[in-house]
Chains A and B, each alone.
Chain A
Amino acid sequence: MNENLFTSFITPVILGLPLVTLIVLFPSLLFPTSNRLVSNRFVTLQQWMLQLVSKQMMSIHNSKGQTWTLMLMSLILFIGSTNLLGLLPHSFTPTTQLSMNLGMAIPLWAGAVITGFRNKTKASLAHFLPQGTPTPLIPMLVIIETISLFIQPMALAVRLTANITAGHLLIHLIGGATLALMSISTTTALVTFTILILLTILEFAVAMIQAYVFTLLVSLYLHDNT
């Protein structure tokens, strides 16, 4: 049971070739583009959804921040679609790998912070000291704010990894428990099955929410720095 539980998180390799590349690229197949004014239902639905999300997320930024729209929209689409595809049976979710989430979080956070330092140096440095702090507290508070700044990319990556991994593990465990309980006591198995249904609904929500949170936080770091 111990080995079985974590085998679904191993990066897929077939005959030594990285199959994981194909799995990471697969969600791009599900978002076709169209040059027409009136396209098919699938593309129309996606364009409507994308417009809704981009308006809601990018309206708070000024024109300099809005140059990041393409980046943030692709980010939320990628994380959302990858998380949702991972809820299918037997599939591999790339966002459970900390390496990938760090690879997404660190460059985006660093880009936002460095943009702030280059273009608005004084204002960026001023973020390290909240307004109205008593003078003796200043050194300690600057240290604390620096630490909280540098922990932002780590928190972004670990939050996404931990949420998705924990959800998948819970589904595996409760599913296994339901199967094992079926021969012992059917009523308990039914209760466990209800828990499993509720958990799956939660996982669908978590998949999308995590994408949203990740992108929202990057956009917030951007807003601070443009």
Chain B
Amino acid sequence: MASVVPLKEKKLLEVKLGELPSWILMRDFTPSGIAGAFQRGYYRYYNKYVNVKKGSIAGLSMVLAAYVFLNYCRSYKELKHERLRKYH
């Protein structure tokens, strides 16, 4: 009976803080690994908020809000000149 779970198979919340760098380095960074990560993330969101019996507008709105926020971050450099100031 293994009393110590190997580091690679632990979930993120079970990893101790000191083991964090080695845990991150053990993750799968190959293209198929990254694609798998995106796929898991997408299906996690989709199955929680959209693929339910009585889905609401919140599932779509959160995606659009994140889109607006990312675009704001992208164009922050041009936007910071437009703050409310007396002299520009």
- Which A residues fall within an 8 A CB radius of B? 4, 7-8, 12, 14, 19, 26, 29-30, 32, 39-42, 85, 88-92
Q: Is B54 an interface residue (CB 8 A)?
A: yes
Complex: A19 Cα to B72 Cα, angstroms: 14
Contact A88–B74 (Cβ < 8 Å): no
**Can you list 15 residue pairs at the A/B interface with Cβ under 8 Å?**
A8-B75, A19-B74, A26-B67, A32-B46, A40-B50, A40-B52, A41-B55, A42-B55, A88-B67, A88-B68, A88-B71, A90-B68, A90-B72, A90-B79, A91-B71
**Known pairs A32-B50, A42-B55, A92-B71 / 12 extra A-B pairs, C-beta < 8 Å:** A4-B82, A7-B75, A8-B75, A19-B74, A39-B51, A40-B53, A41-B55, A88-B68, A90-B68, A90-B72, A90-B74, A91-B68
Complex: A39 Cα to B46 Cα, angstroms: 13
Complex: A88 Cα to B75 Cα, angstroms: 14
Complex: A19 Cα to B73 Cα, angstroms: 13
Q: Which residues of A contact B53 (CB under 8 A)?
A: 40
Q: Which residues of B contact A14 (CB under 8 A)?
A: 74
Q: Is B37 an interface residue (CB 8 A)?
A: no
Say how far B56's CB is from chain A's closest CB, in angstroms. Answer: 8
Contact A89–B72 (Cβ < 8 Å): yes
Contact A42–B71 (Cβ < 8 Å): no
Q: Could you say which of B4-12, B14-22, B23-31, B57-65 contacts chain A?
A: B57-65
Q: Which residues of B contact A29 (CB under 8 A)?
A: 42, 63
Say how far A84's CB is from chain B's closest CB, in angstroms. Answer: 10
Say how far B71's CB is from chain A's closest CB, in angstroms. Answer: 4
Contact A4–B81 (Cβ < 8 Å): yes
Selected contact of A30 from candidates B52, B63, B72, CB within 8 Å: B63
Contact B75–A42 (Cβ < 8 Å): no
Residue of A nearest to B72 (CB): A90
Contact A40–B55 (Cβ < 8 Å): yes
Contact A88–B64 (Cβ < 8 Å): yes
Complex: A88 Cα to B63 Cα, angstroms: 12
Say how far B7's CB is from chain A's closest CB, in angstroms. Answer: 33
Say how far B47's CB is from chain A's closest CB, in angstroms. Answer: 10
Q: Which residues of B contact A41 (CB under 8 A)?
A: 54-55
Say how far A200's CB is from chain B's closest CB, in angstroms. Answer: 15
- What 7 A-B pairs have minimum CB-CB distances, sorted nearest first? A90-B71, A41-B55, A91-B71, A90-B72, A40-B51, A7-B78, A88-B68
Complex: A26 Cα to B72 Cα, angstroms: 16
Contact A4–B50 (Cβ < 8 Å): no
Residue of B nearest to A91 (CB): B71
Per-position binary interface string of chain B over residues 77-88, scored 1 when its CB falls under 8 Å from any chain A CB and 0 otherwise = 011011000000
Residue of B nearest to A176 (CB): B82
Q: Which residues of A contact B46 (CB under 8 A)?
A: 32
User: Which of A14, A88, A90 counts the most chain B CB atoms within 10 A?
Assistant: A90
Selected contact of B78 from candidates A4, A26, A30, A91, CB within 8 Å: A4
Complex: A92 Cα to B81 Cα, angstroms: 19
